[in-house]
């Protein structure tokens, strides 16, 4: 039992160490988003020629009112979205980076071979009572499903030789072994999923804040000038509102779609584990 406890602790540490660390990656990605806003979107090349901005960096735009800038392309238009835009850009980068990370991790979790074929092979070997061959299949498959099934099969083999417990106790121990193995593997599958789920909601709310700020600027322009609206400031305010809305909705939509996609993959693997676990328990009940 001491050996099992040691192995369990090592598995827990390994799963906690897997994947990206949000505490380190999120601040870095925010800095990347700000840099993209200032130095890519805010490049003077994205605006019509102006003597005040020729030959200066994008940071110098802070000395020029945005209503006086004339964007020449799509990137310039996005830059006109204001201070909320770099936050939304950072959100989109976070969604992309952690989606790639989840795709890679879940692909590894599925193992090397086809998961459906693996389930069929394990069930066939269980029906034939070939436990050692089934364990070899798990070693070949690897991944989360392979690890959990192997743990169940090893327990199956150990309990079959045990003479100190009755059949009911053995069934309980077998079920507990599979549940513990599943519990150890699930954190690796679900790690960082909360980030995608959160951004699916927060991105829309932050975009709404940018939209409100843009509309405030637009209505402020309507009320300025002694009854004559400042058309330049009015257009900038409306543009800011629409740019923030578009970025927020786009980021939120992508995050929600990817979150649901990855959740369905995790649910599929969990179902496969439950399917094989039931087969292991039925086989043990029939043969022992």
Two tokens, residue 227? 């009854």
* pLDDT tens over the chain, length 288 residues: 333 444 444 444 445 446 789 999 999 999 999 999 988 998 888 887 666 555 555 544 555 666 677 788 889 899 989 899 999 999 999 999 999 999 999 999 988 888 889 999 999 999 888 999 999 999 999 899 999 999 999 999 999 888 888 888 999 999 999 999 999 888 888 889 999 999 999 999 999 999 999 999 888 878 765 566 677 788 888 889 999 999 999 999 999 999 999 999 999 999 999 999 999 999 888 877
- Listed in sequence order, the residues at least 6 apart from 4 whose beta carbon sits closer than 8 Å to its beta carbon are none
Question: What pLDDT is attached to residue 30?
Answer: 96
Please tell me the pTM assigned to this model. 0.84
Quick one: which of 81, 120, 94, 122 has its CA closest to 200?
Answer: 94
Phi, then psi, of 218 in degrees rounded to 5: -65, -45
pLDDT value at residue 18: 62
The whole-number pLDDT of residue 10 equals 46
pLDDT at 9: 46
Which backbone phi and psi does 273 adopt, to 5 degrees?
Answer: -60, -45
Q: Which residues of 76-110 are buried (b: 16+ CB within 10 A; e: fewer)?
A: bbbbbbbebbbbbbbbbbbbebbbebbeebbeebb
pLDDT given at position 48: 79
pLDDT of residue 33: 96
Q: Locate the domains of the chain by residue range.
A: 2-23+91-287
């Amino acid at each position: 039992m001491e050996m099992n406890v040691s192995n369990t602790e090592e598995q827990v540490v390994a799963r906690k160490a897997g994947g990206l660390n949000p505490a380190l990656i999120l601040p870095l990605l925010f800095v990347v988003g700000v840099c993209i806003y200032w130095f890519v979107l805010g490049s003077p090349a994205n605006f019509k020629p102006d003597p005040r901005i020729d030959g200066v960096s994008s940071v110098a735009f802070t000395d020029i009112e945005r209503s006086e800038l004339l964007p020449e392309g799509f990137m310039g238009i996005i830059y006109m979205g204001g201070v909320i835009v770099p936050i939304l850009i950072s959100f989109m980068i976070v969604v992309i980076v952690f989606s790639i990370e989840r795709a890679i991790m879940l692909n590894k979790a599925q193992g090397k071979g086809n998961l459906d074929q693996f389930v069929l092979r394990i069930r066939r070997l269980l029906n034939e009572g070939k436990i050692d061959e089934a364990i070899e299949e798990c070693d070949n498959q690897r991944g989360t499903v392979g690890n959990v099934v192997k743990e169940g099969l090893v327990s199956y083999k150990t309990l079959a030789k045990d003479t100190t417990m009755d059949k009911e106790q053995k069934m309980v121990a077998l079920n507990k072994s599979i549940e513990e193995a599943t519990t150890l593997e699930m954190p690796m599958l679900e790690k960082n999923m909360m980030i995608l789920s959160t951004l699916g909601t927060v991105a829309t709310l932050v975009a709404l804040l940018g939209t409100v700020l843009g509309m405030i600027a637009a209505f402020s322009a309507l009320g300025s000038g002694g009854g004559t609206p400042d058309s330049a400031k009015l257009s900038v305010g409306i543009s800011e509102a629409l740019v923030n809305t578009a970025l927020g909705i786009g980021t939120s939509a992508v995050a929600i779609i990817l979150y649901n996609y990855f959740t369905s993959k995790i649910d599929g693997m969990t179902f496969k584990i439950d399917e094989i676990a039931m087969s292991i328990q039925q086989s043990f009940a029939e043969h022992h």
